[in-house]
Structures are given as C-alpha cells and as structure tokens.
Amino acid sequence: MAFAFTFPDVGEGIHEGEIVKWKVKEGDTVKKDQIVAEVETDKAIVELPAPESGIILKRYLKEGEIVKVGQTLLVIGKKGEKIPTFTEEKNSQLKKSNTVMGVLEEAGQETTFKVKTESKPLALLVVKALARKLNVDITKIKGTGPQGSITAEDVKNATLGTTKEESKTAKVTKKYDMYGYVERIPLTGIRKTIANKLTTTFPQAHVTHMDEADVTHLLTLKEQAKNKKTHLTLAPFIIKATILALKKHPYLNATFNGEELIVKKYYNIGIATDTPDGLMVPVLKIADQKTLIQIAEELKILIEHAKKRKIDLADLQGSSFSITNIGSIGGTYFTPIMNPGDVAILGLGRRTEKALVLNRKIEIRNILPLSVTFDHRILDGAEVARFVNDFKQFLENPETLFR
C-alpha cells in the first residue's frame, strides 16, 4: 500500500514553505529517515526525512513551488505499484494524525491508500548512529522531538536515565535568533577538518611570549646570497635559525602524551599556509639536513601543492615544531595556536622599519615581530624567553645560518 508523505506541521508558526531542493526523483529507492527534500520558510530551513522505505512513485511539486502544511509532497510505494491520483480538495482535508486514510480518485473511482505523517517515533540517521555508538536501544526511547521523533539529546539522556520534552519530525534550522535574522554557513571540507583538529589543543595551557628581532643585517646578506635558479625569501633563514635555537632548547621540539614528554631528535618544521580552502600545515621533513637552497626549493613545492590541493597526506603529518606568518597579510603580534602534537609554535608578524638607538646613535632598522605560543604544562616562560633570545641572536648574526 502506497504512502502519501505530506508536509508536516513543524511548529514555529510555519504554515507554508518553498521547496528549494529535492534530494530524490521519481523512481529512486529511498530508506526510512533518508532526507528527501529541503523546504525553506520565512523562519527556518526544514529537512524532511522519508517516513517509509520504498520507491518514489510520484512527486507532486517542483523546486521553487510553495507547499502548505498538510499538502502531499510525494508518494512512496513498491516497484510497479499503481500511482493513485487525488483531488486537491480532499488532499487539503487530510487530518493531522499518526496514520491517516486518505481517499484517492482515479478514473472516477475512489481508491484508498495510507497517508503517513508518522506512526512511530522517528530519528535522523546521525541520531541512530549516536545511539549505536552509545549502545542505546533507540526503540525504547520516548522521543521528545517533532511528532515524537528522537533527538540526539534524547539518546544522551537515555544513558543517564532522564528524558526531556522538545518538538518535531523534520529537522528545523531557524533562520533567526532572539535579535534578528542570521545566515548559517555549515563547515565543510578543509575548514571542518581544521575545526575538529584544533579542538584537540584545548587541554593545552596556551601562553604566548612576544619579542622582536633586528633583521637588517640578515636582509643585506640575503640580497648578497641571491640564487639565479631559486628565489630566496626570508623563510629559509627563519627555518635555519629556528632549528639552531631548537637544538639549544630541545624541550620545544617535542610532544606531550599526557604522562611523558617525548623529545624529538629530528627537526620536521610545519609551515602554516593560507590556501583558498583554509589553513594547511605542510611539513618540511628533516629540515636540519638541508641547505638554504634546498629548503627554499622544497618549501616552494609544498606550498604550491597545498594551495592546489595536490599535497600528499604524508606531507601534512609529522611536525615537531611549526611556524606561521601573518606578516605578508598584515599585523604585528598575535597568539598563534599550536599545531596538534607540538608543544610550541613561532608566529611572525609584519616586518617594519623602526628608529632605534644603537651606540648612542639613532638608526633606521628592519624589525621583525615574534610571537611564540607554548604549552605551559611542559615549558616555563623563562625557557621560552631563552629560546627566543637565541633565535634572535641567530637572525641578528646571520653568518651562522650559512654553515
């Protein structure tokens, strides 16, 4: 027997909505609770789950058309089953109940079929997955969602032996809060990965130490070291100075598993890279064994691959320390967030010219702002300050970087 799926009363004073997207077409096979359509109202975006498994025998509205509460959206039945037709008058008279018998008319004769809004509590697929994960029997939960549907909170409460009252079958996403209308932008792809990854840093005790380095002499040497084949930026020199400072302060080149500090004897430097899809951190492996030219060439390839989304997953893993740079965009000091697994990160700000007093004379110098965020569970401020002092010494006496 075919089921007519009607647009349910989703509350919030919603009486009608526009079908913005069909997720299924006629002839498709759907499973119970599979999302079949998105309906947008002036107050919410509603995702409608299929009330039964079966074949989509008929869709009654097109995308862009208006559907009213109680109006039939589609008919679900078995393959080869005859598709009934019905009058709009009788369709509008369908009563809201768990199971409704609607009267259909075909070729002048009346045919009855089951119109189902819901005969038992529903749950979205993500809610069912949560129930399986928590080992909760979803059939024994009294749903507090729309028309008795089971919500994620119902499942969580079931593990505590508690229940809570709520609202509907369809998933309703409000387009407003208590102050006015809002736009909701779901996190997807790289941005969602970044968000999930960075939540793992919350247990760390973040502290940021700030200073500045005089890179006037380094810029002069960089110009003298120009390579015809490879464009040398400041980045290779920064990486070299970082490694030399890490060798003097190995606790910054480590990871902490909650019980022990694991000091790494290799130097894999993560380079935070701004890409069209969000921040990525390609890792320059065994950087201490590479020359300035080799670092520059490999870094160029890693960054290009990251920006074009061609980078290998292995090139995004294994960092022992990371560097991030906002200087090319703007800003001076900031509080960078550690790459998960690291216990410290170096942040570089915008290089500027400043008037400094040197040997009782005022000189214009090139100054590079530095910010080092570290895990205070592992490192004390004094040790990080000593690291920064040594890092500055290497930058301000760059001859050591060419060794």
Residue numbers annotated as active site: 376
For residues 303 and 325, give the distance between their C-alpha atoms in angstroms, rounded to a whole number. Answer: 13
Cβ-based neighbour number of residue 251 at 10 Å? 18
Cβ atoms of residues 20 and 66 within 8 Å: no
CA 330 to chain centre: 25
The CA distances from residue 209 to 35, 344, 347, in Å, are 50, 11, 10
For residues 45 and 38, give the distance between their C-alpha atoms in angstroms, rounded to a whole number. Answer: 7
What would the two tokens of residue 333 be? 């000091």
The CA distances from residue 102 to 77, 89, 220, in Å, are 15, 11, 85
Maximum C-alpha span of the chain? 105
CB burial of residue 180 (10 Å; 0-12, 13-18, 19+): exposed
For residues 129 and 124, give the distance between their C-alpha atoms in angstroms, rounded to a whole number. Answer: 9
Backbone angles phi, psi at 128, to 5 degrees: -65, -40
For residues 12 and 45, give the distance between their C-alpha atoms in angstroms, rounded to a whole number. Answer: 12
For residues 403 and 398, give the distance between their C-alpha atoms in angstroms, rounded to a whole number. Answer: 10
For residues 227 and 141, give the distance between their C-alpha atoms in angstroms, rounded to a whole number. Answer: 70
Strands 321-325 and 269-271: parallel
Cβ-based neighbour number of residue 279 at 10 Å? 16
Cβ atoms of residues 244 and 236 within 8 Å: no
Beta strands in 10-127 (DSSP E): 16-22, 29-30, 35-40, 44-49, 54-59, 66-68, 72-77, 99-106, 109-116
Cβ atoms of residues 343 and 255 within 8 Å: yes
